[in-house]
Amino acid sequence: MAQQSVTQYRWKDIPEEPLTELLSRKLITGDRMMLAHVYLKKGCVVPRHSHENEQITYILEGGLRFWIGADEAQVIDVMAGEVLHIPSHVLHKAEALEDTLDVDIFSPPRQDWLDKTDDYLRQK
Torsion of CA 79, 101, 64, 124, to 10 degrees: 170
Name the superfamily (CATH) of residues 18-122: Jelly Rolls (2.60.120.10)
Q: Please give the share of the chain, as a percent, with pLDDT higher than 70.
A: 98
Q: What average pLDDT does range 1-22 have in this prediction?
A: 93
SS3 14: coil
> Could you give the CA distance from residue 83 to residue 56 in angstroms, rounded to a whole number?
7
- pLDDT at residue 2 in the model: 73
Please name every residue paired with 65 in a beta bridge, in sequence order, or none if there are none: 77, 95
Torsion of CA 120, 76, 101, 116, to 10 degrees: -20
Domain ranges of the chain: 18-122
- pLDDT at residue 4 in the model: 85
Nearest to 67 by CA among 42, 100, 92: 92
